[in-house]
Structure 1
Amino acid sequence: MSKELFVRAEEVAGVLGISKPYAYKLVREMNEELKQKGFLTIPGRVSRNYFEEKFYGLRENQ
């Protein structure tokens, strides 16, 4: 994975080995969670840190 600030749905699909439509669904769900926490979001992209924390249990300070 590159170290860009956001991960696109296409990259989510490749990393997780899932279809693009399902990756877009996951990105929408993560963005909705972030919106509920008061963050701004970009359709089709999600924060790389949030994605890694959500799927790998990683935190920035680990």
Structure 2
Amino acid sequence: MVQYITKAGDQWDIIAKNVYGDEYKADLLMAANFPLLDIFQFDAGIVVECPELTETLNETMPPWRI
């Protein structure tokens, strides 16, 4: 698991974009960091655990075709 150290003003979607290149992966970060869920905008220096992506899905195909 990778750790991300926040900068002042970071938000879940910004962190997901920085770590995964996709702001829609914020739900993965939130699930891995339950104690931090009450934070909307982070102060600098908070450690956020970032789980590694284990599976890449082809998002252009419907799920029943994968």
Task: Answer whether TM exceeds 0.5 for this pair.
Answer: no
Query: Highest Rg: 1 or 2?
Result: 2
- Relative contact order higher in (CA < 8 Å, ≥ 6 apart): 2
TM-score, normalisation: structure 1? 0.39
Bigger helix fraction: 1
